[in-house]
Copies of this chain bind each other. A is one copy, B any other.
Amino acid sequence: MIQSRTDLALELQEELEQQEQMEGIRIERRVDKSCGISETRIYVETEEASKRIGKPIGQYITLESQKFLEEDSSYYEEMSEALYGVLKSFVTEDKKVLVAGLGNSQVTPDALGPLVVENLFVTRHLKNHNIIKEGMELSAIVPGVMAQTGMETGEILKGIIEETKPDLLIAIDALSARNSNRLNKTIQVSNTGIAPGSGVGNHRQAITEEAMGIPVIAIGVPTVISVPAIVGDAMDAIFQIVEECKGSSFSNLLTEEEKLQLAREIMEPDLATMFVTPKNIDEAVRRISFTISEAINRYIPIVKGI
């Protein structure tokens, strides 16, 4: 009802499924029972479905695990392995890969991308100087956000790509979700790049194959819930309960338009720019970023030999 409640294709698809509007959208689900990680593959296959779900045509893979952030520190390895498994279908070891850690390193829930880059084992300079020969040629950049750089993230990446000629871009970004259960427990991989207006920091420009000139794989993790998402969900829940209490279809008396108007009225304007995070967000972002960087580092077989 209120727009941009979520960056997750999975949550958008769930809304469509409720409304039985799944034409052109194909789903595959799989649970690895040994480790409890579930994988959902969403294929957006037609232009018409793309419009309905609000995401470009392409493939969206979501890994979820409730155990992901538990105390047992070895657990990240299973998620890391699962993510590597997903990446392998998009990126092979012989490619030259540039990783871009998007987001603002000064804002905790937006620092996911920069933290991933911090732990990567980059190899481009080592391969260029013949110090190592095996494994993927990996380079990485933290481009910053427009308020810090005065430049579009897309401009910075485009310039670096043209100068250093990678075959493929992996863009890592913090997302916003609708459901608090998914926060910091879900990794979304897509082959569609990043659309304008998505991510915690809301990129203005698309970072897509069309814009960059090379394929773009996006890895995203929801680290915040937007306040409008929470208020909207609260409204929906109240209307539902009110209807049940009253024994009548109450909320149908309001149009979607009136509901949207309502939500805007009940929120103070400041609130719309705020976000919701759990108290342990600092630690959660560190752990997840490590899971992602270790998944990418698996492409570099030679790490420990140096």
Where the two chains meet, the residues of A that have a C-beta atom closer than 8 Å to any C-beta of B are: 71-72, 106-108, 110, 117-118, 120, 122-126, 137-144, 146-152, 155-156, 158-164, 179-181, 183, 225, 227, 230-231, 233-235, 237-239, 241-242, 245, 250, 253-254, 262, 265-268, 270-271, 273-283, 303-304, 306
Contacts and interface: CB of A to CB of B under 8 A. Distances in A.
18 contacts: A106-B282, A107-B281, A108-B108, A110-B279, A122-B148, A126-B150, A138-B150, A140-B144, A155-B163, A158-B163, A162-B163, A183-B270, A230-B271, A238-B239, A241-B262, A241-B265, A242-B242, A275-B277
A123 to B, nearest CB: 6
Contact of A122 (B118, B137, B149, B275): B149
A265 B239 CA distance: 13
Nearest to A282: B106
Contact of A147 (B122, B158, B268): B122
Counting every copy of the chain, the complex holds: 4
A61 to B, nearest CB: 24
A59 B62 CA distance: 53
Contact of A179 (B118, B183, B225, B268): B268
B235 A304 contact: no
Contacts of A124: 150-151
Per CB-CB distance, the 3 closest pairs between chain A and chain B, nearest first, are: A159-B163, A124-B150, A122-B150
Most chain B Cβ neighbours within 10 Å, of A110, A230, A281, A282: A230
Contacts of A108: 108, 282
A146 B139 CA distance: 9
B266 A237 contact: yes
Contacts of A140: 144, 148-150
Given A152-B125, A156-B160, A304-B71, A237 B265 contact: yes
B72 A304 contact: yes
